[in-house]
Structure 1
Amino acid sequence: MEQELLKNNFERHGFKTSFFDTKKAASDYLKDQISGKKVAIGGSVTAQEMGLYEALSEKNEVIWHWKKAGREMLVEARSAEVYITSANGVSKTGELVNIDGTGNRVSQTLFGPEKVYFVIGNNKVCPDLTSAMERAKQIAAPKNAARLQVQTPCAKTGVCVDCNSPARICHSIVILERPSNGMEVEVVFVDEEMGY
């Protein structure tokens, strides 16, 4: 992982950055940083692989619609002080790309929480914004569609065809170039493959 390049480019854009060799070290860091807060976690295989729900539940109220399903949990997450998610693609030039079906995840990264943490495995880092967008559409989205077992072409073939399927999970694409006004955003880079 090109730590200096990522640090320089993301911090130049107003993001905070931190770097860890393992997901365990990153999970321990987040556990130390967040205490006595209302925390929401966006739909994230990365967060699941890191055991963040369990780790953060020790000292926080944690809301995650993967643990208790339903729209009410998505609405409840809006009141969180801290939001944790990942990204579908990350550019070395300092942008975060996310694709969302419901919009709950991307909306929380734009407005609401006091602080947002993006936890990023080395497999999600791409040379530039174009390749980060391509990764989000051609790698992350088909894998998520297959995981969710939706009836879309990409779930069957592993390739995005920009479908109009009613089961489509790609409704919103957000490129976060800089944190929104009034929000603190930290990108937690982990030198391991995590998530899609």
Structure 2
Amino acid sequence: MAKGVLTPKEIRNERLAERIIKNLKRRNMDAFYCPTATEAVKKVSELIPDGSSVTWGGSMTIRDMGIPQVLKDRKTLNVLDRDDAPDRESVIKIYERAFTTDVYLSSVNAISEDGVIVNIDGNGNRVAAITWGPKRVIFVIGMNKVAQTTEAALARARSTASPINASRFDIKTPCQVDGVCHNCNSPESICNYIHFLRNSPQGRHIVVLVGEDFGY
């Protein structure tokens, strides 16, 4: 294919992203579309001013895109990375400090075409920080996480993201056994907190859509 010619998937992603961005802005969220991960990483870094304190939730999207190292390499940021913590107690302290950071990064389990963001948590620290605390929340979302409706977004979070994450953490839940959500009450469940972000009343949420598949 000639350089500069978009594939059908790229055309679809651009058109769908344009629609989602309009819907997010109606919900008082600023939003951007980046066709590639490289452009998305650059945009995320641009959105974080020098001198900011920044941390993130347990996102494979953010890790796989290399965002943590890019932010650490800037040397002008106070980066809190729980992966560098020596023990569980230190991890908990980073969880707590997240609520006073300037910027909190996260991906999502799903987003509807009309801009509702859906997340499911086991511990609740991520959805808590999304809801309250950090001055700014930046979502980094691969277009593979777009669902047609809010109901479809919830279904994706429960039936796709959660079983995969259960396998990633190797926890003993029914969905880890057969890949299907059983709406369980397992003591090891990672589906304890279900969070819908409909609007950003203080305008503190920003979305960066990525025209590539990232995360679960």
Quick one: which amino acid aligns to residue 79 of structure 2? V
Partner residue, 1:33: 47
Partner residue, 1:66: 83
Larger radius of gyration: 2
For 2:60, which of 28, 45, 55 is the aligned residue? Answer: 45
Q: Percent same amino acid among aligned pairs?
A: 36
Contact 1:89 1:124 (C-alpha < 8 Å) held by counterparts: yes
Partner residue, 1:148: 169
**Which string of whole-angstrom CA distances, capped at 9 and with x for unpartnered residues, describes residues 153-196 of structure 1?**
112211110111111111100000011x3351111000000000
Residue 133 (1) aligns with residue 150 (2): no
The structure with the greater share of residues assigned to helix is 2
Partner residue, 1:5: 19
Matches within 5 A, 1:79-90: 79-90=100-111
Q: Spell out structure 1 runs of 4+ moving beyond 4 A.
A: none
Cα displacement (A) at 1:130: 0.7
Contact 1:43 1:66 (C-alpha < 8 Å) held by counterparts: no
What TM-score results when the alignment is normalised by the length of structure 2? 0.87
**May I ask how many residue pairs the two structures share in their alignment?**
195
Partner residue, 2:5: none
Residue 184 (1) aligns with residue 196 (2): no
Aligned counterparts of 2:69 and 2:159: Cα–Cα separation in 1: 31
Deviates more, 1:29-38 or 1:113-122: 29-38
Q: CA RMSD in A?
A: 1.2
For 1:162, which of 166, 183, 200 is the aligned residue? Answer: 183
Aligned counterparts of 1:4 and 1:30: Cα–Cα separation in 2: 18
Aligned counterparts of 1:127 and 1:67: Cα–Cα separation in 2: 37
